[in-house]
Amino acid sequence: MAQRAQGRARALPGLPGRPLTAGTPDRLRKGPTAMLDYTGRTAVVTGFASGIGARTASLLVGLGARVIGVDRPGAVAPAELTALLAARIDADLSAPAGPAAVAERVDGPVHLLVNNAGVAATRPWREVLGVDLLAPRDLTRLLAPKFADAAAVVTVASQAGLRWRETAARSRALLAAETWGDAFALAADEPDIQRDCYAIAKEAVIVDALTLAAERTVPGLRANTVSPGTVQTPLLADFRTAMGNEVVEGAAAWAGRHATPDDIAAAIAFLGSDDAAWISGVDLPVDGGYGALVFTMMQSAAAEEAAR
């Protein structure tokens, strides 16, 4: 497998600051007993045309997977990456017909679904709730009949969803909405949801994975999320607009850099692999430790407050 991966490694058009390479990073090439063996596995990656999704798709191909890439109609993907895919499905995941079309067109069995497509709060709140929350929720369930016996879903959440434990009741209410219209109606009455739509969508996908793991709604499915801090992708410019440069650069200044798409793709590939067979219902922060810093700062602030 490692040899095959090595054979496929070649340069793809770059993402900011780093060439995109189809293949396995050196640190993952460990010979015939290598971890992360995706030989004979099929993975569906949404938002594959750019950033974290592009890197994840190329890494999974390098690890032996048959990868089906999903992105919006007209999304421009590196041609070399598209050539490595088993199939590309064009679907707009900002409307309920999107996940339904993907589930219909995917040919299974599917071993891994990576719900990665996402937009920032620079977009209208309905679009953010659709792409970042309702599409992953629906696609995971609609693909259920096509999942292999032991399958995994990894959804890309965010450090912005850090408060998911405190806000789980709101997340559950959104997740319980039968139709997208019902979810939008709920949000229409809550200015908070509209204002913080990105963070709220990410909190909810973490709670959704936890619920899938606990309730075994889709039998045999392991469900996990990864929560990146800031990542050097085209979306970072939108986060600068939505959150302000200071917030975006603050985390990177502390950690020494933004994450690269490689950092996130490696975590996704691990959680999706058989090597993570006993891991389900976990949100994995991939943020250089920044979340830990925020937690300890909050603890200190609470202790100071209590001492007053």
Ligand X SMILES: NC(=O)c1ccc[n+]([C@@H]2O[C@H](COP(=O)([O-])OP(=O)(O)OC[C@H]3O[C@@H](n4cnc5c(N)ncnc54)[C@H](O)[C@@H]3O)[C@@H](O)[C@H]2O)c1
* Comparison of 1 and 248: residue with beta carbon closer to ligand X: 248
Residues 275-294 that bind ligand X (CB under 6 A): none
Query: Is 198 known to be catalytic?
Result: yes
Could you say which of 124, 220, 234, 289 contacts ligand X (CB under 6 A)? Answer: 234
11 strand-pairing partners: 21
CA distances from 262 to 60, 86, 115, 216, 281 (A): 12, 21, 17, 30, 23
* Comparison of 281 and 291: residue with beta carbon closer to ligand X: 291
* Comparison of 72 and 146: residue with beta carbon closer to ligand X: 72
* Comparison of 201 and 218: residue with beta carbon closer to ligand X: 201
* Comparison of 2 and 183: residue with beta carbon closer to ligand X: 183
Residue 107 beta carbon to ligand X: minimum distance, rounded to whole angstroms: 19
> Is 256 in contact with 212 (CB distance < 8 Å)?
no
Choose, from 198, 239, 270, 290, the residue flagged as catalytic.
Answer: 198
Nearest residue to 269 via CA among 71, 7, 55:
55
Residue 33 beta carbon to ligand X: minimum distance, rounded to whole angstroms: 31
Nearest residue to 22 via CA among 13, 33, 31, 32:
13
Q: Does 156 bind ligand X (CB under 6 A)?
A: yes
* Comparison of 1 and 284: residue with beta carbon closer to ligand X: 284
Please enumerate in sequence order all residues whose Cβ is within 8 A of that of 301, keeping only pairs 6 or more positions apart, or say none. Answer: none
- Binding marks (x or -) toward ligand X, 21..60, rule CB under 6 A? --------------------------x-xxxxx-------
- In this structure, the dihedral spanned by the alpha carbons of residues 268, 72, 239 and 256, taken in order and rounded to 10 degrees, is 30
Please tell me whether residue 280 adopts helix, strand or coil conformation.
coil
Q: Does 67 bind ligand X (CB under 6 A)?
A: no
**Which of the stretches 2-10, 116-124, 171-179, 291-299 binds ligand X when contact is defined by CB under 6 A?**
116-124
Residue 195 beta carbon to ligand X: minimum distance, rounded to whole angstroms: 17
Please tell me whether residue 194 adopts helix, strand or coil conformation.
helix
* Lookup result for tokens 């969803």: 161
Could you say which of 21, 24, 58, 94 contacts ligand X (CB under 6 A)? Answer: 94
Q: Does 231 bind ligand X (CB under 6 A)?
A: yes
Provide the b/e sequence for 6-33 (b: ≥16 CB within 10 Å). eebeeebeebeeeebbbbbeeebbeeee
Q: Does 71 bind ligand X (CB under 6 A)?
A: yes
Does the bond joining 109 to the residue before it have cis omega, within 30 degrees of 0? Answer: yes
Residue 87 beta carbon to ligand X: minimum distance, rounded to whole angstroms: 15
**Which of the stretches 2-10, 92-100, 137-145, 175-183 binds ligand X when contact is defined by CB under 6 A?**
92-100
Please tell me whether residue 42 adopts helix, strand or coil conformation.
strand
For 54-105, the DSSP string reads: HHHHHHHHHTT-EEEEEE-TT----HHHHHH-SEEEE--TTSTHHHHHHHHH
Note the residues at the interface with ligand X (CB under 6 A).
Answer: 47, 49-53, 71-72, 75, 92-94, 116-119, 131, 156, 158, 228, 230-231, 233-236, 239
Catalytic residue positions, numbered:
198
